[in-house]
Amino acid sequence: MTARRYAVYFAPRPESRLGQCGSAWLGRDAVTNSSCPQPSLPADVPVDLAVATARPRHYGFHATLKAPFHLHGNCTEAALIRAAQALCTRHEAFSITLEVGELDGFIALLPKSPTNALDHLAAGCVRELDAFRAPLTDTDRRRRDAARLPPRQRALFEQWGYPHVLDAFRFHMTLSERLPDGPRQRLYAVAEAYFEPALRGETTPVDSICLFREATPGGMFSLLQRIDFTPRNAPPHEFV
């Protein structure tokens, strides 16, 4: 299958301090699909940041709400956008508090506490947009190493195309590849200091979802469209 893939992400607004810090950390702005300088690491940190962020950089600074998928054969990009817009009428803005943490051997930004609104949003993206996802292929199963997944995650993968959804969902904004304990701990300390100005005393608004798309089949993911939450009962915009 050579068609481009799509994904539904949370991504901070590019003008926000968090958005700017995250793009610089990964070395790529997914809005403009362009590279940007990464911060320099202290000499005593045994990590090449460009290498340690290679896979996250491919997808851009984000948290996954619906994992990358090929469009079903009878669906169009325009229809996917309309469905995402309809989904956004059923959600209202909320905020989360993030911190640098570790998850399964990699560094990520994680919520400090569970948020029902966040889980509800992710579940809605998975369920309501799944009609647009092409069926899994044997290549998909091999890539995910599906046979080795725990039974619950294997069932979620077969049903929804991704094993970390619904009750297995955990919001995270990936900051590194999986790293050995020593280098990871050193990079973790650097990431804490680096993101501290963007996170200290700040909450992160979740007021939109972002449709991302591969620039070319197999290429980098970049922003296709940001869709703001607009409740159905919101008053109409006034134009002056």
User: Could you tell me the two tokens for 95?
Assistant: 């905020």
According to the model, what pLDDT value does residue 236 have? Answer: 41
Question: What letter would DSSP give residue 143?
Answer: H
According to the model, what pLDDT value does residue 230 have? Answer: 84
- Pairing outcome for strands 106-111 and 63-70: unpaired
CA distance 176 to 122: 22
* Percent over 70 (pLDDT), the chain: 95
CA distance 65 to 121: 8
For 189: left if phi > 0, alpha if psi spans -120 to 50, otherwise beta; the answer is alpha
Counting Cβ atoms within 10 Å, is residue 69 exposed (0-12), middle (13-18) or buried (19+)? Answer: buried
Q: What is the CA radius of gyration of the chain?
A: 18
Looking at the DSSP assignment, which residues form a beta bridge with residue 229? none
**Could you tell me the pTM of the whole model?**
0.93
Which residue numbers in the chain have pLDDT < 50?
Answer: 235-240
According to the model, what pLDDT value does residue 218 have? Answer: 87
According to the model, what pLDDT value does residue 232 have? Answer: 56
CA distance 119 to 133: 20
Amino acid at 240: V
According to the model, what pLDDT value does residue 1 have? Answer: 52
According to the model, what pLDDT value does residue 3 have? Answer: 80
- 5-119+170-228 CATH: 3.90.1140.10
According to the model, what pLDDT value does residue 146 have? Answer: 87
CA distance 25 to 239: 39
- Pairing outcome for strands 221-228 and 94-96: unpaired
